[in-house]
Structure 1
């Protein structure tokens, strides 16, 4: 592949997905050789977009076809008809549809915050389906889903979440954002994303550019504010069941895993990261000082940690 592939702008495409309420399009950005069947799927956090991974994608495009979706309800993707489906099961189903389109021979995964939970949800669904699929009699068991999941990077997220971190996110996720200038939008993103760690002005502008849309003389948040409904109080039994499924998926990931943690994270407590290491012996942990939730994977040491793990 020529050197320009790593620096070119990404290609935008869409795939049609389905929810119980109807169909929707999910947009995704592709970097690198479109014929490369070694795919790296990068999935963003709750209120972010697939363009969060631009710096990392440029670094890895010579080795992978890097695919960065805008999760439904965000960015260039459609908004759901029924906001009740803004949840991990729907997001995982959408990713399965995308993977079927991509047809990877090998699929590695990077998930920041919510993107990590989607990865665990996908892994758990595939494993559970394989275990529970009925035998077809003389034909034998049905074929397993074609999801060749390889290495997984969990960026500042784990199967158990901090209530304090969730409460902080819940304070702003459903608030309408309307800004009189792009500079005002940058200031807002900087204020609610202090956990991203230190960035220069150009960095904060890049982190803002794809999470606001211009409407006339104003800039507004790029996502469906109804995603905040997922933060409504849930029964403790439901939360415990979801956590149990996520831990089960983590325990049985098919390949090595890398946990990235901001040393000052309020969403991935240190004790949860330690438990993840204890329960999955093929996992390793890298922490970044001066960063909370979540590392943006733009700094050279953060890019190097991911690159070295995936290409080892």
Structure 2
């Protein structure tokens, strides 16, 4: 059964609340699952249930500005160092070793934490994100953000998600509907996406540029499962191969998916579960 949790965290603009969704036994070994740029912790419902069935305590936060978490008063705060600060308060609350599953932005946050001396991450899954993000992928992300319309109803929002997030893979109708229902908030005479539109501001403030995190990645020494969508434009094959050359990295490629595999398919859930169970 899903539970809700929250932590107050401190930023330069004051204290805010970050909320999360939790599954599994409260005394289970914790796994933190952190979503992508425009998503929420509810994306991990299927994965969380699979991990909870294996006895894990699974915590899926909504990053600031998303889902049930507080929005921030300054749009320029919507950047990875601030997300890491919020997540650090959650890690302090847990106060012990954790495993980490990070999709896209959630993986960037995980790398930043795992590169820091004294971090608590034991094993990490990076879902379609790596040490280098090409300019073309950043341009694609920049172009679809910041123009979020008012949708007439949930089916209209679902149709939008099916187009924008087609690279998630071959999801069932029920899975797309779940993503739509957990991505909606009331707005006027219809529904809006769950996030603060201002999260796009830092990205749209400048021309799209490649992100080189190889110096950060070099500091990550824990066991890593690197998942790549076979058609991904964000985690390029050469970047994945370079990362997987390290002995502590295992690379798995998901056919029929781009950026990023949804981690809803039973085989993908088992892949993550078995890696974290080692």
Report the TM-score when normalising by structure 1: 0.84
Is this contact kept in 1: 2:229–2:256, CA < 8 A?
A: yes
Alignment of 1:217-236 (within 5 A): 217-232=189-204
SS in 2 for 1:27: strand
Contact persistence 2:35–2:41 (CA under 8 A): yes
Q: Which residue of 2 aligns with 1:85?
A: 77
1:101 aligns with 2:101: no
Q: Residue 178 of structure 1 aligns to a residue in which SS?
A: coil
- Secondary structure in 1 matching 2:8: strand
1:110 is matched with which residue?
101
Q: Distance in 2 between matches of 1:80 and 1:69?
A: 16
Q: Does 1:121 align with 2:93?
A: no
1:28 match: secondary structure: strand
Aligned to 2:31: 40
Per the TM alignment, residue 230 of structure 1 is displaced from its structure 2 partner at its CA by 2.0
Bigger share in helix: 1
Q: Which has the larger radius of gyration?
A: 1
What is the deviation of 1:67? 0.4
Which of 264, 270, 277 is the matching residue for 1:298?
A: 264
Q: 1:264 aligns with which of 231, 238, 243?
A: 231
Contact 1:112–1:154 under 8 Å retained in 2: yes
In 2: Cα distance, 1:277 partner to 1:216 partner = 48
What aligned pairs does 1:180-199 form with structure 2 within 5 A after superposition?
Answer: 180-199=152-171
Question: Which residue pairs with 1:68 in the alignment?
Answer: 60
Distance 1:257 1:233 in 2: 33
> Residue 251 of structure 2: which of 285, 291, 311 is its match?
285
- Residues 142 and 204, structure 2, Cα contact 8 Å, conserved in 1: no
The normalised TM-score by structure 2 is: 0.94
SS of corresponding position for 2:88: helix
- Count of matched residue pairs: 277
User: 1:211 deviation in Å?
Assistant: 1.2
Could you tell me how far apart the structure 2 residues matched to 1:168 and 1:221 are?
19
Instruction: Give the Cα–Cα distance (whole angstroms) in 2 for the partners of residues 183 and 35 of structure 1.
Output: 39
Question: Structure 2: 5+ residue runs without aligned partners?
Answer: none
**Aligned pair in 2 of structure 1 residues 210, 235: CA closer, same or farther (>3 Å)?**
closer
Runs ≥4 in structure 1, deviation > 6 angstroms?
none
1:204 is aligned to 176
Shift of 1:235: 8.8
**Offset, 1:229:** 1.4
Q: Does the CA-based 8 Å contact 2:234-2:259 persist in structure 1?
A: yes
Encode CA deviations 1:276-304: one digit per residue, 9 max, x unaligned. Answer: 112x3210100011111100000122111
Give the match's secondary structure for 2:133: coil
RMSD of aligned alpha carbons: 1.8
Distance 1:177 1:109 in 2: 33
Structure 1: gaps of 5 or more residues: 1-7, 128-144
Whether contact under 8 Å (1:108, 1:151) holds in the other structure is yes
| Superposed displacement of residue 177, structure 1 | 2.3
How far the C-alpha of 1:169 sits from its partner, in A, is 1.4
- Aligned counterparts of 2:3 and 2:94: Cα–Cα separation in 1: 14
Do structure 1's residue 248 and structure 2's residue 215 form an aligned pair?
yes
Farther off after superposition, 202-211 or 50-59: 202-211
